[in-house]
Amino acid sequence: MTDPRIERQSGRQPEDPREPFQLDRDRVLYSMAFRRLSGVTQVVSPGEGEVFHNRLTHSLKVAQVARRLAEILQKKHPSEAEAWGGLSPDVVESATLAHDLGHPPFGHIAEEELNKLVSEELCRAAGKDPAKEKCEGYEGNAQSFRILTNLAVRRPPEPGDGRRTELGLDLTRATLNATLKYPWKFEENPAKRKKYGAFGCDDGAFQFARQVLLPGMANLQFVRSLEAQVMDWADDITYSVHDTEDFYRAGLIPLDRLASNAKERARFRDSILARAERRGDQIPQDREFNKYFDGLFDSLRIREPYEGTREQQAILYHFVSWNINKFVTQTVLKPPPGNGGEGLETPPDVRREVDLLKELTRTYVIENPALAAHQRGQRQAVRTLFEAFNEAVIDDKYRSLFPPFYRERAERLFEGHRAGGEVPPTERVRLVADTIASLTDRQALILYQQFTGVSHTSMLDPVIS
């Protein structure tokens, strides 16, 4: 009997010396969608300099941490891993390489803006009031799944196949399931209405991925696979550490002052508590929390602003490697709980430290007024691109605005419109969102400048997806 974890959407098993999950990993690594991530914002634009991680270097490091974590858990907890249905380091690595494919240019700001624009457009098309109701919009995790199962192009068709190209990477069921950080569709999970892992138009691929079930576990609908849990925890570990490293080196996160200046430390603590209060979260302000908070910064060996000396580089390298090793090695694996819970467990102080490191970036970078000014312009660029491409679908004069990869879809929709039919709003808006999400930061800015006449870019600057 064929292992359902290795089955592919196509129903075919390639004749290849590599194991099925190794093949998945290589297909993601060599995809054009993965290469694009080198030009996509992690926290700040890749154009800001080599100090900062971009989405590609971030993904590579998440994949390394996730693979090592999976290998350690498999070795330490083999029976628990088997009870979860399997824990393959190759599946985990494939999922982590793929986890950010759906990030649009400019990162989370564009994701928020695209979500708003798509939702409003589809609500209006359905006769709903966008001010009062929410429709399916844009979600980066769902877009990653869409790329893997639909948009990515892997190879020409087999002889006699009517398709011009084979769409999607045709990954195994286990790998697709591992990419589902949020294994539900829009508004299916009442506990997390804003996040979801697949669009309604990709339901067939979603159902295929979710057919790997755990025996004896109740309430399976929203349960993440163990490999998806490892991917998500590795993501948290990685960016909590390397964002701290990046922005200390850039002079934005004052690790030196936090280590030695009580006033700076109090300011940071107050910003954490204020954000928690706005979110309605409960962060303890008791002696234990304050003792832990102070202990985190007392232990830092960093006492000066970063200048790039040999000693500072060594201290920073130690900070990164020590913390990642600690976060990974203190993670343990539990058997599947009957109530549909999670399998990974870490001491409360470890989770708290990861959260505090993430709060450093939010306090000193994301809420920095200088970044807010950039983000306002980026939102405007996304809105302009959305309006232009939305119009171009039904206006023959502007069809060429679409990059060649998406122009073919636009032409098919227009032909149906010219024949007297109506362009289905869902297909039109999803095409527009796919197009914008396929761009790098630089490509999006070039198109924005061309569409608005802000600068005279060259007609010899094609946008190639």
Q: What CATH number corresponds to the domain at position 340?
A: 1.10.3210.10
CA 255 – CA 340 distance, rounded (Å): 40
Same domain for 72 and 38, yes or no, is yes
Same domain for 337 and 208, yes or no, is yes
Task: Tell me the residue ranges of DSSP E strands in 298-424.
Answer: 332-333, 344-345
User: Would you say how long the chain is, in residues?
Assistant: 465
In this structure, what token pair is assigned to residue 300? 């830092």
**Alpha-carbon separation of residue 216 from 182, 189, 208, 213 (angstroms):** 21, 22, 20, 9
Same domain for 394 and 335, yes or no, is no
Same domain for 349 and 421, yes or no, is no
Same domain for 318 and 210, yes or no, is yes
| Element at 369 (helix H, strand E) | helix 369-392
Q: Decide if 339 contacts 219 (C-beta within 8 A).
A: yes
Other C-beta atoms within 10 Å of 47: how many?
Answer: 13
Same domain for 438 and 362, yes or no, is no
Q: Is residue 237 part of a domain?
A: yes
Selection from 376, 331, 377 nearest residue 353 by Cα: 331
Looking at the structure of the chain, the number of domains it has is 2
Query: 26: which strand partners?
Result: none
- Is residue 437 helix, strand or coil? helix
Alpha helices (runs of H) in 330-365, residue ranges in sequence order: 348-361
Q: Is residue 433 part of a domain?
A: yes
Q: Is residue 118 part of a domain?
A: no
Same domain for 179 and 40, yes or no, is yes
* 77 vs 459, higher pLDDT: 77
Same domain for 362 and 402, yes or no, is no
Question: Percent of the chain beyond pLDDT 70?
Answer: 88
Q: Is residue 415 part of a domain?
A: yes
CA 179 – CA 145 distance, rounded (Å): 7
Q: Is residue 108 part of a domain?
A: no
CA 130 – CA 190 distance, rounded (Å): 20
Same domain for 166 and 207, yes or no, is yes
Q: What is the pLDDT of residue 440?
A: 93
Q: Is residue 203 part of a domain?
A: yes
In this structure, what token pair is assigned to residue 174? 């286990």
Is pLDDT above 80 for 275? yes
In this structure, what token pair is assigned to residue 323? 């913390």
Q: What is the pLDDT of residue 13?
A: 87
Domain end (from 319, 343, 367): 367
Q: Which of 277-281, 319-323, 359-363, 377-381 has the lowest mean pLDDT?
A: 277-281
Q: What is the pLDDT of residue 2?
A: 76
Residues of the domain holding 408: 381-452
Domain end (from 367, 389, 419): 367
Q: Is residue 277 part of a domain?
A: no
Region 243-270 average pLDDT: 89
- Which pLDDT band holds residue 97 (cuts at 50, 70, 90)? very high
Same domain for 363 and 387, yes or no, is no
Same domain for 310 and 249, yes or no, is yes
- Is residue 189 helix, strand or coil? coil
CA 283 – CA 292 distance, rounded (Å): 13
Q: What is the pLDDT of residues 319-365, one digit of tens each?
A: 899 999 999 999 999 998 876 788 999 998 888 889 889 999 999 98
Backbone angles phi, psi at 189, to 5 degrees: -100, 105
- State the sign of the Cα–Cα–Cα–Cα dihedral 327, 108, 142, 25: negative
CA 76 – CA 99 distance, rounded (Å): 26
Q: Is residue 417 part of a domain?
A: yes
Q: What is the pLDDT of residues 123-172, one digit of tens each?
A: 998 899 988 889 999 999 999 999 999 999 887 766 666 555 567 999 99
Same domain for 437 and 338, yes or no, is no
Domain end (from 342, 367, 392): 367
**DSSP assignment letter at 399:** G
**DSSP assignment letter at 424:** P
Is pLDDT above 80 for 281? no
